[in-house]
Structure 1
Amino acid sequence: MNQENLSSKPHFQILDGLRGVAAVLVVFFHLAEPLASSHLDNVVNHGYLAVDFFFLLSGFVIGYAYDDRWKTLTFKSFLRRRLIRLQPLVILGMTLGGITFYFTDSTIWPMIHTVPLWKLIIVMLIGYTILPIPLSMDIRGWQEMHPLNSVGWSLFFEYIANMMYALGIRKLSNKSLAIFVSLSALLLIHFAVTNPNGDVTGGWTLNYEHMRVGITRTLFPFFAGLLLSRVTQPTKIKNAFLWCSLLVVAVLLMPRIGGASNLWLNGLFEAFCIIVIFPLIVYIGASGVLHPNEDKICKFLGDISYPLYMTHYVLVYFYVAWISNHKSITLVEAWPTALLTFGGAIVLAIISLKLYDEPVRKWLHGKIKA
């Protein structure tokens, strides 16, 4: 099926808008995180669940866009399309992270100015491929697989899920896929309630523990989204964007459940959100009827969602360095800088979209027949 036929499918604008809402909350989460005294009292307590929501949205959209195209579509052409869609901003995020690396020095990163330029360049080039770096190449000290752009870890698992889909899972019947998704849900629940942190965080370090977390966080939402795209029969739901947005906000801002004494309760809550609430949100969003002017809001939020996610952490590095150099600062004192950082992230996302991502993808589509 050619590009024209693909574009003739109805577009889920509300889901685009919800992706943008979640991306905005991710930025707020990262701005609030360094001000929290522990992982128990972040203002945006469950902001990291936006990644799990992204995986679910991605699985739904991939299934909707490609499930009926495999009579003519090849793995190579599928992967080419995904590379054109995802990789330009991966490269931009790593490049910006590399350019600004030496300017984010603070008390929490004393090693930065000891990193030779050649090592920085190697880490940046590996980052372009989205492949993880080993711990021996960590140049920031946070034990991340992508120390120039922290959020790159989720793209690594996104690609794994995409390849699993294209290489075999797409061939599963709905019944077999449902069994696979159910087993993935059990795996997620077990991890969530037994994790010593009392949540589903993790996946950003190249070691056994974090690889297990990353795979566990990816399998259920991505392939549940795929299953949902196959079995959903959307109805017409009014005010869907408003209600879904409020649900996303409510989940991500919900205070920790159970406190420090019953961490497993918080894990159970997060598993419930991923397994029940997020699919419900996607179903309602896919069934929604847009009100006048909501289409413009959803388009704007959808357009900037991926650029915002892939570039905001470059500015967050500066913000975190500033916070670390003012250790006694409070939320009330920090909010003007946080707001400025947030505004800068929105502006950077728009510039990245209009001056880089859209032109590059258009050029690549012209050069490479996907």
Structure 2
Amino acid sequence: MNNNNLFTKPHYPILDGLRGIAAIIVVTFHLSEPLSTGNLDNLVNHGYLAVDFFFLLSGFVIGYAYDDRWHKMTLGSFLKRRVERLHPLVILGMTLGAIGFYFTDSAIWPLIHTVPLWKLLLVMLIGYTILPVPLALDIRGWEEMHPLNSVGWSLFFEYIANILYATIVRKFSNKALAVFVFIAAVALAHFAITSPKGDVSGGWTLNAEHMRIGITRTIYPFFAGLLLSRVAKLTRIRNAFTWCSILVATVLYMPRIGGAEHLWLNGVYESVCIIFVFPLIVYLGASGIVSTKTERKLCKFLGDISYPLYLVHYPFVYFYVAWISNNKGVTILQAWPYALLILCGSIVLAYVALKWYDEPVRKWLRKKLG
């Protein structure tokens, strides 16, 4: 989900900015969820597709950064770089979730205060590894593989994609990779269109159904991004950040397609977005020209906070969900000031976490891991 270690290679600031835009929309999606009855009437209806966009961005950046360096890089050094980049904020997010666990008192989590401290610490320590916890350790009751920080599921699949890339897929020729990506696209479209829910939402529970969803959502976008990094002939496009930001927001804020009567239509919409629209956005963003200092600074700021924001916001969403569940009938007009406060507070915390924690820890890890 992040680009680093590119050394002398040209940077893609617009892709950084787009990652930040998508991260902010993810927060608004999570803040709108408790005010809806499900995916059919969520105000930020397709916000969960931001994860699929992240996977595609990640595959593009990984391919761009590492594809031509395997002659001087080992599997171990690659994995060390990914752990150094991804894991400090995983640990911070799980710690924040653990600290706030007993304070999210709500009728929807009646068993929280019966969870012994040893079990909370065990779940936190397992969370530090990003390995999923079994349902027997689901201390919150939402059947999440990371009950202290819900978004950890996507990092679990991110690591799987990175390992597949480093051990197998990086050796594929472009033709073999294209065939692999085509098969993954067919599997994704088939799942989305035939899904009982009419969407690709899922992947956060340690069971066969959600593992299938998570793998299906990860394989196509990540390796489509890798293929795009190999074959794309970039041009020079002006105002790309503006147009790409509008495209990302349009896709993620699009209301439900087809309603409850024609669920398959929404599956078609999501398939088209993931298979065609997201690669187009990444291509346009990689081709884009940053024309002003203000735009460059904005893209840098959005890129800097994107990953921290994604990892630190959900512990605060738990408090928000508890408040809404304890005050039945809360309207959007009543909730939006609190939602805005959480959004702004999460952005501030993300920046503080970046500067005071993530960057110093990563610098220390680089020295320790070599």
Same fold, TM-score > 0.5, yes or no: yes
Structural mapping, 1:71-110, within 5 Å: 71-110=71-110
- Mind listing any 5+ residue stretches in structure 2 that lack a counterpart? none
Shift of 1:57: 0.1
Shift of 1:5: 8.4
Per the alignment, residue 321 of structure 1 pairs with 322
Shift of 1:211: 0.2
Structural mapping, 1:237-316, within 5 Å: 237-292=237-292, 293-316=294-317
CA contact (8 A) 2:5 2:65 kept: no
Shift of 1:37: 2.3
CA contact (8 A) 2:18 2:303 kept: yes
1:328 is paired with a residue whose SS is coil
Shift of 1:38: 2.4
Structural mapping, 1:11-26, within 5 Å: 11-26=11-26
Structural mapping, 1:61-140, within 5 Å: 61-140=61-140
Per the alignment, residue 341 of structure 2 pairs with 340
2:204 is paired with a residue whose SS is coil
1:7 is paired with a residue whose SS is coil
Determine the C-alpha separation between the residues in 2 that align with 1:116 and 1:5.
42
Shift of 1:6: 3.8
TM-score (norm 1): 0.98
CA contact (8 A) 2:101 2:148 kept: yes
Determine the C-alpha separation between the residues in 2 that align with 1:315 and 1:350.
16
- Cα offsets for 1:66-107 (capped at 9, x unmatched): 000000111000000000000000000001101110001101
Per the alignment, residue 358 of structure 1 pairs with 359
Determine the C-alpha separation between the residues in 1 that align with 2:241 and 2:279.
15
- Cα offsets for 1:178-235 (capped at 9, x unmatched): 0000000000001001111110000000000000000000000000000000001110
Per the alignment, residue 228 of structure 2 pairs with 228
- Cα offsets for 1:314-350 (capped at 9, x unmatched): 1101001011111101101111111111111111111
Determine the C-alpha separation between the residues in 2 that align with 1:123 and 1:37.
29
Determine the C-alpha separation between the residues in 2 that align with 1:74 and 1:301.
32
Determine the C-alpha separation between the residues in 2 that align with 1:299 and 1:289.
14
- Mind listing any 5+ residue stretches in structure 1 that lack a counterpart? none
Determine the C-alpha separation between the residues in 2 that align with 1:55 and 1:169.
15
Aligned length: 366
Determine the C-alpha separation between the residues in 2 that align with 1:37 and 1:168.
42
Determine the C-alpha separation between the residues in 2 that align with 1:195 and 1:127.
29
Per the alignment, residue 204 of structure 2 pairs with 204
Determine the C-alpha separation between the residues in 2 that align with 1:104 and 1:353.
25
Q: Which amino acid aligns with 2:207?
A: N
- Cα offsets for 1:149-194 (capped at 9, x unmatched): 0000000000000000000100000000000000000000010011
Determine the C-alpha separation between the residues in 1 that align with 2:339 and 2:5.
44
Identity of counterpart residues, as a percentage?
A: 71
- Cα offsets for 1:277-309 (capped at 9, x unmatched): 000000000000002111100000000000000
Q: Which amino acid aligns with 1:197?
A: K
Determine the C-alpha separation between the residues in 1 that align with 2:199 and 2:114.
35
